[in-house]
Amino acid sequence: MAIQLPHAMWAAMAFRDMHDHGDEVSWLQPIIAGYFCHGYGGTAVRDLSMGMAPAAMGHVDVPKYWLMGYALTYHSPGDYIYNKIGTTGHPLRLVCRFVEAVDVAITLPGAFEKGVKNFPNAMASGPVAAMASVYGGSVWRYLYNKGRGQDPKMEWMKPGGPTRRGIVYTLFYMWGRKYWGVPESRMFLTLFHTGWEMLQELADMLGWSDELKAKIKDPFLDLFNTVGMVFKLIAGMLKLNMDRTKHKHSGEVKSLR
């Protein structure tokens, strides 16, 4: 309960914030779509990809706490819960954001280990399971927004902060579990991620500049830009192809002469 209920409340708030005031939202949308889009969509994709029942069907407590979190965030008297979770610096928001950060931090290593446990001889089982938990929510949000008549784009079409964070965390955990140990690697990720999330909250509370907050929000952007520049330099030196589409005149018949 210490993690599940605050996580469910934070996820319900995030789903509610997807809709502008006045949007038509049925009573069933937050219960079902909210669960997959922001609650447990990542682990659902992870489990389904391994042929296992997702938590909505196979977990003892998850459905119960999801419904409790949904009910509190959507239907509290005077809309108190939703308003306070959305208020920067409010104690309820701080608790929910901290717990959400812990949940995110422990989910990726847990997904990695679940992949390794179920497919011990498969080289990529751990990383694929970990990244499935990272991308899962974006898949459900894409389907949901598509169903609402919008024109959404998948995260991998324009990889942003979540992709960079997922890749860095997964690579670190691959190294850490082997050379440092599973408990130690999990603890480091948890401390780093929760500290990073709470630093973002502090930046909002203290009114730091937008430029500084952007740096804090996406700490791995400069790293990826540097790595990209190095790869482009190497590709240029070796004359490697970097085109991701077919050639401009690929439909024409080429002559051997």
Angle at 139 between CA 103 and CA 214, to 5 degrees: 60
160 within a domain of the structure (yes/no): yes
pLDDT at 255: 55
Radius of gyration of the chain (CA): 21
Contact indicator for 133, 41 with CB cutoff of 8 Å:
no
Contact indicator for 31, 70 with CB cutoff of 8 Å:
yes
212 within a domain of the structure (yes/no): no
Give the integer Cα–Cα distance in Å for 145 and 246: 30
244 within a domain of the structure (yes/no): no
pLDDT at 246: 85
Amino acid, res. 80: Y
253 within a domain of the structure (yes/no): no
Provide the residue-wise pLDDT of the chain in tens; the chain has 257 residues: 689 999 999 999 999 999 999 999 999 999 999 999 999 999 999 999 999 999 999 999 999 999 999 999 999 999 999 999 999 999 999 999 999 999 999 999 999 999 999 999 999 999 999 999 999 999 999 999 999 999 999 888 888 889 999 999 999 999 999 999 999 999 999 999 999 999 999 999 999 999 989 889 999 999 999 999 999 999 999 999 988 888 876 655 555 55
pLDDT at 156: 86
pTM (2 d.p.)? 0.91
pLDDT at 256: 52
pLDDT at 252: 58
214 within a domain of the structure (yes/no): no
Single out the residue of 208, 203, 130 nearest to residue 173, CA to CA: 130
197 within a domain of the structure (yes/no): yes
107 within a domain of the structure (yes/no): yes
How does DSSP assign 205-231, residue by residue? HHT--HHHHHHHH-TTHHHHHHHHHHH
Domain count, the chain: 1
132 within a domain of the structure (yes/no): yes
Contact indicator for 180, 133 with CB cutoff of 8 Å:
no
pLDDT at 117: 97
| Owning domain of residue 95 | 4-207
Both structure tokens of 234: 């190497």
